[in-house]
Structure formats: structure tokens, C-alpha cells
Structure 1
Amino acid sequence: MISTPRSQRPTVLVLSLGGTIAMSAPSGGSGATPRLAAADLVASVPELADAATLELQDFRQIPGAWLEIDDIVAIAELLNQRAQSGTAGFVITQGTDTLEETAFLLDLLYTGEAPVVITGAMRTAEMAGADGPANLVAAVHTAASPSARGLGVLVAFADELHAARHVQKVHSTSTSAFVSPGAGPVGHVVEGQPRFHFAVPRQAPVALPQVRPASVEVIQATLGASVALLDAAAGLADGLVIAAFGAGHAPKTWAEPLGALATRMPVILASRTGAGSVLSNTYDFGPGSETDLLKRGLISGGGLEPRKARLLLLALLRSGAELPEIRDAFEFRRR
């Protein structure tokens, strides 16, 4: 690969949040924990010096499971500010447990044109076949590429590029754990260059700051499930997402309680299947059909899987949105 003169290299900000990509076990011990800083990750891949001028920031050093909504909001505010100052692109390294959720929430809040590429690893640096270095290389090359501008937040894993809107983690240990059901990767990294097959249209961002306290929970429909969790949610949550059967169905005993909840808070109807869309009027078998639930005031989540529907609703509530605006936002994203 031909080296680009330093003066011509784009500037890429690398934010390290911890996660498996930054984990190692103590000498002679077991049990990996986040120990590596951004400088350590970059030092392990010398070829990155030819890809971009890197700025490094250790934003967090924690497992992905410890990240909070406020962490991601703070990152969005930082990226929005830096994008206006001429930074060419951004790379975020983090734990894979919450990577798909970070990507989607950032995509809702980020307003810049500079690429944001999130990556991580399924294997720690000490394991045979560690995937972190290759994922980091792909992410930096993508973040530095003009062809990635305007595409919002992407996920780089196993030389595949996924849109935040569609990406999901579907395996607990495989190095190819990230896929985009129903869509496929938007591109691949080939010989250090991202090659895009299609683009996912960017949606209108959700407003910052995210300062209004809000709680949104996901309740999954299961065979013969009681209404106990629905009853509990009435006093605990500001919004609710129902991870429904199939195309948007729930036990018949849930229909009336869900209708009552929908008069008090936004209740989003999503599919627990992980792919495909909630329907609107195909099934009308009575209580618990999608036709029935939507008539009772539930809001269709369309093709958003439940965790991402939760993040959209949570971001809207935290921005101060009221029910009509929330309905419009979900309707817009179904188009």
C-alpha cells in the first residue's frame, strides 16, 4: 500500500470506551478486564500511521455492559462539536454487548457529515486469532474515507460495514457476530478501502440536549405469559415497548391492559423476531392481533427491533417530545 504524505492525511479521532478489544488478563492469571488504552490499541497496528493522523482519547475504560445512556449522549455532543471543527472522521472502540445499541442511539443524535465508525472485538488481544486489530484497521480506513461521508454511524466488523439502523449482534462468541437481517452489509473493506453497495437514508436527528428524565422498558410476549409485568410497568415506566409475537401479536389477555397503558404513555408495538416489520391490518383475529392492538392506541414500531424501538422512544422522551411528535417520528421511520 502506498503511503500518503503526513500533510495530506485526514484527521481521525479514536475514542476508546473499553470492551473486549481493550481487555487482557493479568500475567499468569485469568479473567480478562479492560486494561488497554487507545494508544495501546493503535500501537498494536503500525500500519494505521499511514491511514490517517490519529487523535486518541480514552473516553471510558469499562465493559460494554456498563455503558449508560448518558455516556452515549456525551459522545454525541462531543462528535457534533468536533465534526464542525473539521475532523474527517471518528472511530469508537467498545464492548460488543451494547455495540448495536450505541450505534443506533448515536445515529439518532449525531448531526455531522463526517463518518462515525464503531468497532470492537470478540476475542481479547491474547487469544489466538484476535480480531481487534483487523477491525480497528477497517474502522480507521472507513472513517478516513470521503466515500463514507454523510452515511451516519456505521459498524465495522470482519471487513463488513453495517448501517446502525439494521445491525444486530446474533452470536455470543463468533468473530462474525454482527449481521444486518433483512438488509445485509452496506459495504465491505477491500485492500484498505471501503466499498459501498448501497446507502441507508439518514433520518432526521433527535434533538439534544437529552435532559428530561425518562424510563422505557421492553416487555416480551411469550407463550401463556401473565399480565403481571404490564401491571408493574404502569407505575414504573414513562414508555413501553412490546416485543410481540410475529407480525405484532400478543396474548389475548394482554389486549385490554395494553390499551389501558396506551392511554397513559406511549406503547410501541415491535416484533420479537429480529427481522421483518410489524403489520397493520393483515390479521384481525380479535384481541391481541396487530389490527386490534393498533386500534387500542399502540404505536407501530415498523421494522425496528424492540431494543432499537426502545432507544428511539427513550431519546424522544428525553428530548421533551410529547405523544403527537412521538407518533410522527415512528411513522416517519416506517416510510
Structure 2
Amino acid sequence: MAASLPHVLLVSTGGTITMTEGAGAGIVPTLTGEDLVRAVPDLARIADFDVVSYSTKPGASLTLDDLVAIAELIDSRVGEGFAGAIVVQGTDTIEETAFVLDTLIVSERPVVVTGAMRGARAPGADGPANLLAAGIVAGAAQFAGLGTLVVLNDEVHAARFVRKAHTSLPSAFTSPGFAPIGRVIEGQAQCLARLRRLPALARPAFTADGPVALLQPFLGDDGRILEALPGLGYRGAVIEAMGAGHLPETFCEKINRLASVMPVVLATRVAAGPTFERTYAFAGSETDLIARGVIPAGDLAGNKAALLLRLLIACGAEGEDLRIRFTARTKMFSAA
């Protein structure tokens, strides 16, 4: 007797994979999750799908509250006999969605985020292949316990490392400083590495009252924007510093004042490698800035550090408790 197919939950939010020509020039989201599944007949060979069409938003219009709701939806449904889940969305924010879901989802079943770099009716549209690969990974037991994964171009990336590295190529997603942790070859999922799973954070009820600024200084920047942040209502800031975590000397006193009124996280604008903590000692170096109160982001990219900071603020963390909880999670963002 043939083995039964895995049961997979598919949550569609919109994005390029759902886009076709609209009334004017350009493509817009038009297809539902049901439309996507019908358009890829081979999906019926690999899994039985339950489809939830959550929205038809482009990736840039998803909100943190959307992701909290999707995490809750997945946790509430996957216990109903699902092997795993897929979230379909726009690639603009896949790295952020995957990170937030990885942070909030409790279930150990595979959760896969996928999308497309080309619209549904474009020559060489990659959506069907990506959706098929995502279905294979979501139904594969060897990917359980690895947190949220990103699957495009037949590669499987861990949420905490994945970055979008090109605006148009189907191979846009990479894991700088690391590598894909799996692949789909000849219709089979291959797990190449296992990373320890981070414990899930409590899901906040509301996130809009914890705005966080994300800044990237450049050569010659005088840092005056830092002085405006408290008056603009921000409750935290992430600075994507130069190199291993360095800022111009002119920033130092401004950092002193800002870190005294809100949490300030120090990330790096460099694509791969962690923020340093104990190597350089000049004014504006990582050791100097840490002494002034900033929190190093470890391996986290600035956008992911900002989302983690927002989630912790929304959960009520502040002061030394926030620093401890943020640092405890970034210390776990290594391959070891």
C-alpha cells in the first residue's frame, strides 16, 4: 500500500509570486493561495495542502502584527496532523519574516518561507519551482527542529543567517558567512547541517507602541539624527556601524546621551561577520561604544536586530532585563 502524503499548511500573504498584470502598467498581487496550488499540479504528488489566504500584500507592506498573527495561526494549526507549514510572501522582506517566525513559533515542525523573484506570468517565473521545493522541505521530517527556513532556488537557508543579496536574480538569497543548510535535488530534500533551535519568545499582544529606529552611518556623517530620536517617539535604536562595530568619534557623546534614555544596539553594515566586542580601543570603537552603554548585536543583521529589539520592548522588557534578554539570544546566533 502506498504511503500517505504529508499534510502541509500553506499560508499565502501575497508578493511577487502572486502578481499578474493589473489595470495599469506593472504587476500587482492578484492570486490567492488556492490559485497558486492549482497552478502547480506537481504539488499534488508531494503533499496534501490546507490553504489559508491570509492577505494579498506585497512583502514591504507586511507588519510585525501580521507576523505575530501568522505565528499564532501556525502554532494553533500544525498540531492538527500537519507535517509542516509554508508561508508564501514577497521576497522583499522574506529574511525579516523568517526571522520573526523563527523567534515566535513554538512548534518543532518545519516552517518554510518562500516566494518568487519573477511574477507568475513572467518568462522563467520561479514561483512554481520554489513552491514545489518548499512543499518538499515542509513535509520532510529531517528538517523538524531547525526553526523557520527559507527555500528558494532549491536551497534551504536558516532564518537567522539568510539575506537577500540581489534585486532580480532567482539566486538572490544567500547566507553570508555561512551556507545553505540544505538543498532539494531531484525532488528530494537533503539536510546538510543542523543548527540548534532558539527557544521561542512569548508573542506580544501589540507591537505598534515600540518603534525602533534603524540607522546606517556613512563616511563624514556627524550623527545629528541621534539627537532627534527621543523627540520622535522612538523607544530604541539599532545602528549599523562600520566594519566590526565602529562609528566616527563625533558620535561618541551623542551615543552617551542616547543610551541613557533608550536601548541602543550596535550591529554592522558588513554583510558577513559579527560585531566585535573586545578588539579595538579607539574612540568610537566597539569597546568604547559598549562602555558607553550600547548592546552588541553579535551575528544579527541590523534589520533582524531591530525586529528582536521591537519584540522584546513589546513584551515589556526594559533596562538591564532587556540587555540580558537581547544578549542571551544573540549569543546563541552562532553555528556552534
- TM bracket, shorter-chain basis: over 0.9
8 Å CA contact 2:204, 2:311 repeated in 1:
no
Structure 2 residue matching 1:303: 3-state secondary structure: coil
1:275 pairs, out of 267, 272, 276, with: 272
TM-fit CA distance, 1:331: 2.4
Show the counterpart of 1:250: 247
One-letter amino acid of the structure 1 residue matched with residue 106 of structure 2: T
Show the counterpart of 1:305: 301
Q: Matches of 1:219 and 1:231 in 2, distance apart?
A: 13
Between the two proteins, the alignment pairs up a number of residues equal to: 329
Show the counterpart of 2:55: 60
8 Å CA contact 1:161, 1:186 repeated in 2:
yes
Q: Matches of 1:273 and 1:11 in 2, distance apart?
A: 40
1:323 pairs, out of 319, 324, 330, with: 319
One-letter amino acid of the structure 2 residue matched with residue 295 of structure 1: A
Question: Residues 263-319 of structure 1: CA distance to partner in whole angstroms, max 9, x if unpaired?
Answer: 11110000011210111121111x211110000110010111100110111111111
Q: Matches of 1:103 and 1:14 in 2, distance apart?
A: 15
Q: CA RMSD in A?
A: 1.5
Q: Matches of 2:322 and 2:224 in 1, distance apart?
A: 26
TM-fit CA distance, 1:190: 1.3
Structure 2 residue matching 1:61: 3-state secondary structure: coil
Q: Indicate whether 1:259 and 2:240 are aligned.
A: no
Q: Matches of 1:85 and 1:262 in 2, distance apart?
A: 46
TM-fit CA distance, 1:4: 5.1
1:132-211 equivalences under 5 Å are 132-211=127-206
Show the counterpart of 2:235: 238
8 Å CA contact 1:80, 1:112 repeated in 2:
yes
TM-fit CA distance, 1:40: 1.3
1:222 pairs, out of 196, 214, 218, with: 218
One-letter amino acid of the structure 2 residue matched with residue 283 of structure 1: Y
Structure 2 residue matching 1:324: 3-state secondary structure: helix
Show the counterpart of 1:293: 289
8 Å CA contact 1:4, 1:51 repeated in 2:
no
- Alpha-carbon distance change, 258 to 148 in structure 1, aligned in 2, over 3 angstroms: same
Structure 2 residue matching 1:60: 3-state secondary structure: coil
Q: Matches of 1:44 and 1:4 in 2, distance apart?
A: 25
**Runs of 4+ in structure 1 displaced over 6 angstroms?**
none
Alignment TM-score, normalising by the size of structure 1: 0.95
- 5+ residue gaps, structure 2, are none
- Report the identity percentage: 47
8 Å CA contact 1:4, 1:50 repeated in 2:
no
Show the counterpart of 1:111: 106
One-letter amino acid of the structure 2 residue matched with residue 293 of structure 1: L
Alignment TM-score, normalising by the size of structure 2: 0.95
8 Å CA contact 1:83, 1:113 repeated in 2:
no
Q: Matches of 2:261 and 2:22 in 1, distance apart?
A: 51
Show the counterpart of 2:46: 51
Q: Matches of 1:93 and 1:281 in 2, distance apart?
A: 41
TM-fit CA distance, 1:227: 2.3
TM-fit CA distance, 1:210: 3.6
Q: Matches of 1:26 and 1:296 in 2, distance apart?
A: 52
1:6-85 equivalences under 5 Å are 8-26=4-22, 30-85=25-80
